[in-house]
Amino acid sequence: MSTSTIDLHDSHGPHGHGHADDPHHQHHFTNMQQQFDTSKIGMWLFLATEVLLFGGLFVGFGLMQNRYPQEFIEAHEHLQRPLGALNTVVLLISSFTMVMAVLSAKHSDKKKVVMYLILTILCACIFLGVKYFEYSHKFEEHLLPPRWYHAQPGDTVRDVAGNVSHGYGTFFAFYFMMTGLHGIHILVGIILLSWITVRAHRGEFSKAYYTPVDLIGLYWHLVDLIWIYLFPLYYLIK
Amino acid sequence: MEHTLTSRAPVADLPRPEKNYLNATTGIWSWMTTVDHKRIGVMYLVGVLSAFFIGGVFALLVRLSLLSPTHTLFGKQWITAEMYNRLFTLHGAVMVFLFIIPSVPASLANFVLPLMLGAKDVAFPRLNLASFYLWVIGAVMAVTSMITGAVDTGWTFYTPYSTTTEGSVTLMIMAVFVLGFSSIFTGINFVATTHKLRAPGMGWFDLPLFIWGIYATAIIQVLATPVLGITLALLAMERVFNIGIFDPKIGGDPVLFQHFFWFYSHPAVYIMILPGMAIISELIPTFSKKTMFGYRAVAYSSVSLALLSFIVWGHHMFVAGQSQLATVVFSALTFLVAIPSGVKMFNWLGTMYKGNISLETPMCYAISFLLLFAIGGLTGIFLGALSVDIHLTDTYFVVAHFHYVMMGGTVIAFFGGVHYWWPKITGRMYNENWGRFACALIFIGFNVTFLTQFVMGSLGMPRRYFNYLPIYHPYHVVSTIGSWIIGLGFATMAAYLLASLRKPMDAPDNPWGGTTLEWTTSSPPTEHNFEDQPVLQKAPYDYRPEPVAK
Amino acid sequence: MEWLRSAMLPPQGSAFAGEVDTLYMALFWLSVVLFIGIAFPAIYFAWRYRFKPGRVTPHQTHNTMLEIIWTVIPLLLCVGIFFWGLDGWMKYAVAPGESMQIQISAKKWIWQFEYPDGTRTANEIHVLINKPVQFVMTSEDVLHDFFVPDMRVKHDIVPGRYTQVWFTPTVHGEHHVTCAEYCGKGHSDMQAKLFVDTREEFDKFMLTGGTEWEDYKMKPADWGKIQYERKGCKTCHSIDGSKTAQGGPSWKGIWGKMEEMNDGKQVLVDEAYVRESMLQPQAKIVKGYEPIMPTFQGLLRETEIQGLMAFIKSLGNDPNGGPPAPTVLTLPPPPAKPGTAAAPGQTAPATQPK
C-alpha cells in the first residue's frame, strides 16, 4: 500500500535472532546500540518523574518556610550539621565509586566492577547508619511533627499562653518526609546495586553489554543529587 | 462473508496467516506472562471496560437516587445520604483512575502505536506488562476499599474532610498511588518508543496524528503523575500519622492540598482528552477519504496543550481561598489554553470539507465528538470568566461541563476508536446497523442527561447534593431518564460487540481504507507485527490516486 | 429575552447580579452562534459530501491565511471575555468600607451568624436592603462554602483562617443560602434563609427576633416543630424513635422519662434538663452517646426554646402527662439595667443595633 519493506535482519529462525547476536538483544530492536540508547532514554524519563516527586516536597517546604520564616530558621539549628556534612561526603564518594564501576564495566574489568559496586553499597550503608543516629536524636529530643513537638530553648515564636508556634513542628514534618523519602530511595538503591553486583560477579557485563550498570548509575547519581539539594536547604541556609 | 461497506478500499488482501497474536501461543500462563503489546492492550481493554461498567452502574444508582427528592422507590426510602456520598465518590474515582486515564493509552494505543510506527513492539515490553499488573493491583485495592468501608470524600479527597472521615480512605488513596505508577510506566514507554522505534523514512512530521496525541499525553503522564503520587503520600501521612501539613489545628493549610491535587489533576484532564482527540484525527481523514487539513497545526496544538495544561490548575480554585493575584493570572492563562482545542475543531471540519464521507459507526462517533466537545469546550469559557464562575462553580453547571468534555469527548472518541480498530484487534466486523443505532442512543441519552444540568446549575443547584429544593425536581427527572437511555445504548453496544466475537475471523486487513501502517498488517496481526521492517514511502492521510513518493 | 434569562438564572437579588447575568447571556449567545458554526458544517458536510465510489478528494494540506484567522479571532474573543469577567470580578472581590460586617462560623451542618452587636442566629440571617453587607467567615471543622444564588456570590469557608464575601442586596424578602463545598452527610441539608429587610423590619428583628413567633403564641409545639427543622436539630435527633448515626437521642417519648447519663446518674427529662441540653450540652451526656452536640447559647431566642420544649413534650408517651412545658409563648422580661445580672434562663437579649 503505502510502504515497501526492506529486510534488515539476517536470515534467522522464528524469533528473529539467535546467531552471533548478543543474548541480551531484544527482538524488537534493530541492534544493540539502538537498544542501549533507548534504555537510557527510558531511565532519564524515569529520573524526570523522581525530580517531580521530590519537587512537590521542595515546593511544599518553600511555601511553609514562607509561612513560618522565623520558626524555620530557629528549628534548623537543632539539626546535627556535622552528621549531615559527613553524609554528604559519603554520598559524593559513592557517586565516584559508581562512576568507576561503570567505567570498569565499559573496559570489561569484572574484578573492578564488583569492587567498586561493593564500595558504593558500603557508602550507602554508612549513609543509612548515620541517618539512624540522626533520627534517634530527633526522637529523643522530641524534634518531631507538630503533634509531638516539644518546645526547645531558643524557640522564640510563641502565643500568648506560651505555647510554641506550630511552625517548628512543621519544619520537622517536612524534614522527616523528605529525608525519609530520600532514605527509601537509598534503600532501593542498595537492593538494586546488590542485584547487579551479583550479576557482575557472574560475568554478565562487558564492553558489549553493561546497560544495567549504566542505568543504575544514573539512578544513583540522581539520588546523590537530591541529597546535594536537601543538605544545604535543611542544614545550611538561613 | 461480503461486507457492504461503502468506503472499503478495493485492495486485495494478503492471504490470511494461520497464526496470529491471539492464537500464536495458548493457555492462560502465556497471557499472564506475555510481553506482546497487543495482548497487553487486549487485557487492558477488558480491564478498563470492566471498570467502565462498574463506574457506570454507580452513575445509574446516583441518578436513581436523585429521581425523587424523598429518595423513595415504590413508597420506600431505599438510600441514605451516607450511601449516596459513597456512590458519587466511587463513581468519580473509578471512572477517573480506573477507566478514563488508562483507557485510550493503555488499551488502544498499546495495541496500535507500535503498528503505526512500523515497530515490532513498544520500547520496553516487560515494563508494559508491569504497568498492566500495577493496574490490576490498583484495581484490586480499590475494590477492596469499596467493600471494607468505602470512601465518601468525593474523588477529589479535599482536606480536612478526607483526613477525618471514617471509611477505607487510606486504602483507596494507596490504590490510586499504585495506578499512578501504572500510568507513568505507560508514558515512559510511549515516549521512548516514539523517539527510537519509528520505521526508516518516518520523520516526526510523517507520524500519524494519533501518535502526536499519544506522545503529548505521555509527556504529561511522565511529568504530572509523580505530583499526584507525592500528594497522595502526603494525604496518607496526614490521615494515618496526622503529620500536620494540611491540618489547620496544628499549623497546616487545607488549601495547600488543593494546589497539590490540581497541579496533577488539571494536566490529568488533558491526559484524558488528548488521546480522544488523537483518535478523532485518525477517524476524520479516513472516513472523509481526504488528507488531514492543517496537519502541522494539529500536531503543534497537541504539544502546546500538553505544556499549557501545567499552568492553569488554579482555575479549579477561584473561590477556594487562593490569592487574588493567582485568581486573575489563572483566568487569563485558562483562556489561552482554549485556543489549541478550537484550532483542532476547525481543522477537522476543514478535513471534512469536500471529502468523500461515509458514515460508518466510527465516523458517527467522530461527528458526535465534534458536537459534544464543542459544547463542553464552550461551557468551559463560562467557567474561565471570573465573575460568571463565582456563580457557577461548585454547581451542576460544572458537572455538566466536565461530563461533556470527558464523556462527550473522550469516552465517545474512545468507543469510536474501539469500533475503528475492532476488526484489527479481533479479526471480526461488528454489525454496522446496531453500531450506528447504539451511537444514536448514546448521543441522545447523553444530551438528555446533561444539557438539563447546565440549566439546573445556573439556577443554583449545588453539586454533590443528596437532598434538593422542589424547583429542581423536574430537571432531575429528565436527567435520570437520560441516564437510562445511555445505559440502554451501552448495553446494546456490549451485546453486538460480544456477538461479533462468535463469528469467524474474516475481517479484511483494511476495511476502512486507512492509510496508516497498522492497516498493512493482517486482521488480526501476527505475533511480531511485521516479518520485515516496513519502510515508510508515503506520508499518512494521502488519498491521492497516484501516490506521490516522499 | 428576559424570559430566557429568567428561565436559566435565579432572580437578580443584588446590585452585582445584573452584570453577571449580562456576561452570562452574552456567552450564551456566543456559544449558540459558535456551536451552530461547528455543528452545521459537520452535519452539512456529512450530507453534501457523502460517499460516492470513485470520487477523488482534493489534497488540501493547509491554508495558512485561514488558519491564522481562525486562531487569532478566537484569541481576541477570549482576551475580551477575560477582561469582561475580570471587571465584574474586581467588584465582587473588594468589599466597600461601609459594609455591615456579619461573621459566619460554619460547622457541620449549621450556619452560625453573628451581627455587629453580638447577636447570633442560626440558619437565618437578616440584612438591610440596598446596603452593602460583608460576611467574614471561618469554619470550625471542614471546608464549607457560602453560596447565595440570587446574589451571585459564593466563597469557600476554610478552617483556620478567614475568608470574605460581600454584596448589596436589592430585592426585598426571603432568599436562599446553601452550602456549596461538600462537607459530609448533612451537606445538602446545610441551608439558611437570608431575609432582606427594610430599616424598620431589621431594627425590629434585632430587638425581638422577628414577629413570626406571634402567629404561634397559642401553639408553642407547632413553633417548636418549625425550629426543629430550621435550626438543625433534625440533622441529629429523630422524632420517630430511630437512631441517627453520629447523632443524638431521638426525641420520641423522652419527655418525663428518667434518662440515664454516661456517669450512671438518672435525670428527669423536663424543662430544666432540655434547656440545659440546648445551652450547655456537654454538662450531661446520655449514656451511649458522644459529647458532640454544639451549644445553641445565643442561637436560640427564648420563644424558640419554649417552642422546642413544647414540641418535645408533644412527642412524649403521654402528651398530657409528665412535667409541665410551656403552653403559651412569652417574651422574656426586658433587659436588666446595665451593671445588674440578667435573669436566669434568658438568652442574651439583643441590644440596639448601631
Q: What is the mean pLDDT of residues B488-502?
A: 97
Across all residues in chain B, what is the average pLDDT?
Answer: 94
Among A66-70, C32-36, C223-227, C325-329, name the one with the lowest average pLDDT.
Answer: C325-329
Determine the pLDDT at residue C336.
59
Res C239 pLDDT > 70 = yes
Contact (CB<8Å) B390/C31: no
Contact (CB<8Å) A55/B227: yes
Contact (CB<8Å) C41/B374: no
Could you read off the pLDDT of B451-460 as tens digits, one per residue? 999 999 999 9
Question: If residue C175 lies in a helix (H) or strand (E), which one and from where to where?
Answer: strand C173-179
- Of the ranges B31-45, C234-248, C302-316, which is most confident? B31-45
CB A213 within 8 A of CB A197: no
Question: If residue C197 lies in a helix (H) or strand (E), which one and from where to where?
Answer: strand C191-197
Domain membership flag for residue A112? yes
Res B56 pLDDT > 80 = yes
Contact (CB<8Å) A2/B530: no
Number of H helices, E strands in chain C: 8, 12
Distance between CA atoms of residues C352 and C354, nearest Å: 6
Contact (CB<8Å) A1/B222: no
Among A230-234, B144-148, B495-499, C294-298, name the one with the lowest average pLDDT.
Answer: C294-298
Phi, psi of C350 (to 5 degrees): -75, 140
Distance between CA atoms of residues B83 and C241, nearest Å: 21
Chains that touch A (3 or more CB pairs under 8 A): B
In chain C, what residues touch B85 (CB-CB under 8 Å)? 182, 184-185, 187
Task: Measure in Å the smallest separation between the Cα of C221 and chain B Cα atoms.
Answer: 25
Among B478-482, C45-49, C115-119, C169-173, name the one with the lowest average pLDDT.
Answer: C115-119
Helix (H, G, I), strand (E, B) or coil at C145: strand
Number of H helices, E strands in chain A: 6, 1
Res A12 pLDDT > 60 = no
Determine the pLDDT at residue C334.
60
Determine the pLDDT at residue C342.
47
Q: Which of A41, A54, A60 sits opposite B245 (nearest CB)?
A: A60
Task: Measure in Å the smallest separation between the Cα of C117 and chain B Cα atoms.
Answer: 27
| Interface predicted TM-score (ipTM) over 0.90 | yes
Buried b (16+ CB within 10 A) or exposed e, A173-204: bbbbbbbebbbebbeebbebbeebbebbeeeb
Determine the pLDDT at residue A70.
93
AA letter at B53? F
Can you give the CATH number for the domain in which A197 is found? 1.20.120.80
Q: Which of A38, A56, A147 sits opposite B231 (nearest CB)?
A: A56
CB B540 within 8 A of CB B206: yes
Across all residues in chain A, what is the average pLDDT?
Answer: 89
AA letter at A22? D
CB C159 within 8 A of CB C142: yes
Determine the pLDDT at residue C122.
86
Q: Which residues is C128 bridged to in the sheet?
A: C197
Among B283-292, B324-333, C345-354, name the one with the lowest average pLDDT.
Answer: C345-354
- Candidates B235, B143, B229; CA nearest to B187 is B229
Q: Which of B519, B520, B533 sits opposite A8 (nearest CB)?
A: B533
Task: Identify the band that residue A69 occupies on the pLDDT scale cut at 50, 70 and 90.
Answer: very high
Nearest CA in chain A to B252: A170
- Candidates B106, B15, B99, B109; CA nearest to B56 is B99
- Residues with Cβ within 8 Å of residue C234, at least 6 apart in sequence: C189, C228
Res A2 pLDDT > 60 = no
Determine the pLDDT at residue C337.
52
- Candidates B196, B128, B113, B164; CA nearest to B424 is B113
Could you read off the pLDDT of C170-209 as tens digits, one per residue? 999 999 999 999 999 999 999 999 999 999 989 888 877 6
Domain C2-52+60-93 = CATH 1.10.287.90: yes
Task: Identify the band that residue B417 occupies on the pLDDT scale cut at 50, 70 and 90.
Answer: very high
Cα distances (angstroms) measured from residue B386 to each of A72, A165, B274, C93: 36, 36, 26, 10
Q: What is the mean pLDDT of residues C85-98?
A: 94
- Candidates C186, C299, C166; CA nearest to C234 is C186
Task: Measure in Å the smallest separation between the Cα of B34 and chain C Cα atoms.
Answer: 41
Q: What is the mean pLDDT of residues B126-144?
A: 97
Q: What is the DSSP string of C198-266?
A: -HHHHHHHHHHS-SGGGGGTT-HHHHHHHHHHHSSHHHH--SSSPPPTT-----TT-TT-EEEBTTS-E
Task: Measure in Å the smallest separation between the Cα of B195 and chain A Cα atoms.
Answer: 8
Q: Which of C49, C63, C149 sits opposite B352 (nearest CB)?
A: C49
Domain membership flag for residue A27? no
Could you read off the pLDDT of C25-65 as tens digits, one per residue? 999 999 999 999 999 999 999 999 999 998 999 999 999 99
**B148 CA to centre of own chain:** 28
Res B285 pLDDT > 80 = yes
Determine the pLDDT at residue B548.
58
Task: Identify the band that residue C243 occupies on the pLDDT scale cut at 50, 70 and 90.
Answer: confident
Contact (CB<8Å) B160/C180: no
Q: Quick check: do C and B touch, 3+ CB pairs under 8 A?
A: yes
Q: Quick check: do C and A touch, 3+ CB pairs under 8 A?
A: no
Q: What is the mean pLDDT of residues C336-347?
A: 50
Determine the pLDDT at residue B347.
97
Cα distances (angstroms) measured from residue A201 to each of A207, B128, B333: 15, 29, 55
Query: Which residue in B386, B393, B475 has the most chain C C-beta atoms within 10 A of its own C-beta, making it the best mutation to test that interface?
Result: B386
Helix (H, G, I), strand (E, B) or coil at B304: helix
CB B248 within 8 A of CB B257: no
| CATH superfamily placement of domain C218-314 | Cytochrome c-like domain (1.10.760.10)
Task: Measure in Å the smallest separation between the Cα of B503 and chain A Cα atoms.
Answer: 28
Contact (CB<8Å) B547/A9: no
In chain B, what residues touch C142 (CB-CB under 8 Å)? 160-161, 164
Distance between CA atoms of residues B451 and B197, nearest Å: 44
Contact (CB<8Å) A173/B196: no
Res C349 pLDDT > 80 = no
Contact (CB<8Å) A49/B253: no
Phi, psi of C246 (to 5 degrees): 55, 30
CB C294 within 8 A of CB C107: yes
Q: Is A19 on the interface with B (CB under 8 A)?
A: no
CB A170 within 8 A of CB A68: yes
> How many separate domains does chain A show?
1
Nearest CA in chain A to B222: A49
Distance between CA atoms of residues C239 and B261, nearest Å: 42
Q: Which residues is C351 bridged to in the sheet?
A: none
Res B348 pLDDT > 50 = yes
Distance between CA atoms of residues C115 and C101, nearest Å: 7
Task: Identify the band that residue B8 occupies on the pLDDT scale cut at 50, 70 and 90.
Answer: very low
Q: What is the DSSP string of B268-287?
A: HHHHHHHHHHHHHHHHHHHH
Q: Which residues is C14 bridged to in the sheet?
A: C169
Q: Where are the alpha helices (DSSP H) in B309-431?
A: 324-352, 361-384, 386-392, 396-405, 412-426
Q: What is the mean pLDDT of residues A70-86?
A: 93
Nearest CA in chain A to B237: A177
Contact (CB<8Å) A6/B222: no
Q: Is A5 on the interface with B (CB under 8 A)?
A: yes
Determine the pLDDT at residue B158.
97
CB C128 within 8 A of CB C199: yes
In chain B, what residues touch C243 (CB-CB under 8 Å)? none
pTM of the model: 0.89
Determine the pLDDT at residue B70.
82
Contact (CB<8Å) B222/A26: no
Segments forming the whole domain that contains residue A180: 47-236
Task: Measure in Å the smallest separation between the Cα of B207 and chain C Cα atoms.
Answer: 15
Task: Identify the band that residue B269 occupies on the pLDDT scale cut at 50, 70 and 90.
Answer: very high
Res B6 pLDDT > 70 = no
Contact (CB<8Å) A28/B187: no
Task: Identify the band that residue A18 occupies on the pLDDT scale cut at 50, 70 and 90.
Answer: very low
CA contacts within 13 A on the Cβ side of A86: 14
Distance between CA atoms of residues A161 and A140, nearest Å: 25
CB B99 within 8 A of CB B106: no
Res B549 pLDDT > 70 = no
Question: If residue C267 lies in a helix (H) or strand (E), which one and from where to where?
Answer: strand C266-268
| CATH superfamily placement of domain C100-211 | Cupredoxins -  blue copper proteins (2.60.40.420)
Question: If residue B493 lies in a helix (H) or strand (E), which one and from where to where?
Answer: helix B473-500
Q: Which of B230, B534, B542 sits opposite A53 (nearest CB)?
A: B230
Contact (CB<8Å) C187/B458: no
Distance between CA atoms of residues B101 and B220, nearest Å: 11
Please give the share of chain B, as a percent, with pLDDT higher than 70. Answer: 97
Task: Identify the band that residue C352 occupies on the pLDDT scale cut at 50, 70 and 90.
Answer: very low
Could you read off the pLDDT of A133-182 as tens digits, one per residue? 999 999 999 999 999 999 988 888 888 777 889 999 999 999 999 999 99
Contact (CB<8Å) B158/C88: no
Domain membership flag for residue A135? yes
Cα distances (angstroms) measured from residue B236 to each of A61, B164, B232, B253: 18, 11, 6, 15
Task: Measure in Å the smallest separation between the Cα of B368 and chain C Cα atoms.
Answer: 9
Among B115-129, B395-409, C333-347, name the one with the lowest average pLDDT.
Answer: C333-347
In chain B, what residues touch C36 (CB-CB under 8 Å)? none
Phi, psi of B344 (to 5 degrees): -60, -45
| Residue spans per domain, chain C | 2-52+60-93, 100-211, 218-314
Q: Is A166 on the interface with B (CB under 8 A)?
A: yes
Res B11 pLDDT > 60 = no
Q: What is the mean pLDDT of residues B295-304?
A: 96
CA angle, residues B412, B286, B430, in degrees to nearest 5: 60
Contact (CB<8Å) A173/B244: yes
Task: Identify the band that residue C331 occupies on the pLDDT scale cut at 50, 70 and 90.
Answer: confident
Q: Which of A41, A53, A173 sits opposite B192 (nearest CB)?
A: A41
Question: What is the grid cell recorded at A14?
Answer: 522464528
Q: Which of A1, A6, A48 sits opposite B533 (nearest CB)?
A: A6
CB C284 within 8 A of CB C276: yes
Nearest CA in chain A to B547: A2
- Report strand pairing: C266-268 vs C258-260: antiparallel
Strand segments (E) across C53-162: 100-107, 110-114, 120-122, 124-128, 133-139, 144-148, 153-157
- Candidates B467, B478, B418; CA nearest to B81 is B467
- Report strand pairing: C100-107 vs C133-139: parallel
Question: Exposed, middle or buried by CB within 10 Å (0-12, 13-18, 19+), for C288?
Answer: exposed
In chain C, what residues touch B300 (CB-CB under 8 Å)? none
Q: Could you tell me how many CB contacts below 8 A there are between chain B and chain C?
A: 274
Q: Is A136 on the interface with B (CB under 8 A)?
A: no
Res B204 pLDDT > 90 = yes
- Candidates B389, B380, B399; CA nearest to B464 is B399
Q: Which of A7, A48, A181 sits opposite B223 (nearest CB)?
A: A48
Q: What is the mean pLDDT of residues A76-87?
A: 93
Task: Identify the band that residue C211 occupies on the pLDDT scale cut at 50, 70 and 90.
Answer: low
Q: Quick check: do B and A touch, 3+ CB pairs under 8 A?
A: yes
Taking a contact as any Cβ pair under 8 Å apart, which residues of chain A between 48 and 77 contact chain B?
48-50, 52-57, 60, 63-64, 67-68
Task: Say if residue B31 is preceded by a cis peptide, omega within 30 of 0.
Answer: no
- Report strand pairing: A3-5 vs C110-114: unpaired
| Residue spans per domain, chain B | 28-520
Task: Measure in Å the smallest separation between the Cα of C42 and chain B Cα atoms.
Answer: 6
Determine the pLDDT at residue A237.
77
Cα distances (angstroms) measured from residue B460 to each of B397, C9, C154, C181: 9, 8, 11, 13
Strand segments (E) across B66-156: 72-73, 76-77
Domain B28-520 = CATH 2.160.10.10: no
CB C45 within 8 A of CB C60: no
